[in-house]
Amino acid sequence: SQQGEEDPQALSIQEGENATMNCSYKTSINNLQWYRQNSGRGLVHLILIRSNEREKHSGRLRVTLDTSKKSSSLLITASRAADTASYFCAIQANDYKLSFGAGTTVTVRA
């Protein structure tokens, strides 16, 4: 399938700790994107990393991309209670379709 697959499915961490989640995919991509979804809400775009990029930062977020291994990781540093959400990776090949994985549910404990 063309979609990304996240690992782990769920993650529980203490406030202040770092959270790392991974995404694997099977096809060639134009870019890979990460989104956050709070319970029952729409998705919010976090970061887009192109296939010729290896690392990207945005605030407390760090995304890496290894196209040779067809994998990406999202690191959230110094987590906060507000980071509790589901995180999805999405891959985009050279067309209009953005294909999502099943997501990683992150719970940040106070």
Partner 1 sequence: SQTIHQWPATLVQPVGSPLSLECTVEGTSNPNLYWYRQAAGRGLQLLFYSVGIGQISSEVPQNLSASRPQDRQFILSSKKLLLSDSGFYLCAWSPPAGGHFLYGYTFGSGTRLTVV
* Chain residues in the site for partner 1 (CB under 8 A): 3, 30-31, 33, 35, 40-46, 48, 50, 88, 90, 92, 96-103
Comparing CB distances to partner 1, the nearer of 15 and 47 is 47
State in angstroms the smallest separation of the CB of 90 from partner 1.
8
Comparing CB distances to partner 1, the nearer of 43 and 75 is 43
What whole-number distance in Å separates Cα of residue 105 and Cα of residue 37? 9
State in angstroms the smallest separation of the CB of 83 from partner 1.
18
Chain-centroid distance of CA 2 in Å reads 16
Comparing CB distances to partner 1, the nearer of 103 and 106 is 103
State in angstroms the smallest separation of the CB of 16 from partner 1.
28
Length of the chain: 110
Comparing CB distances to partner 1, the nearer of 10 and 81 is 10
| Distance from the first to the final alpha carbon of the chain | 38
* Contact of 89 with 2, CB cutoff 8 Å: no
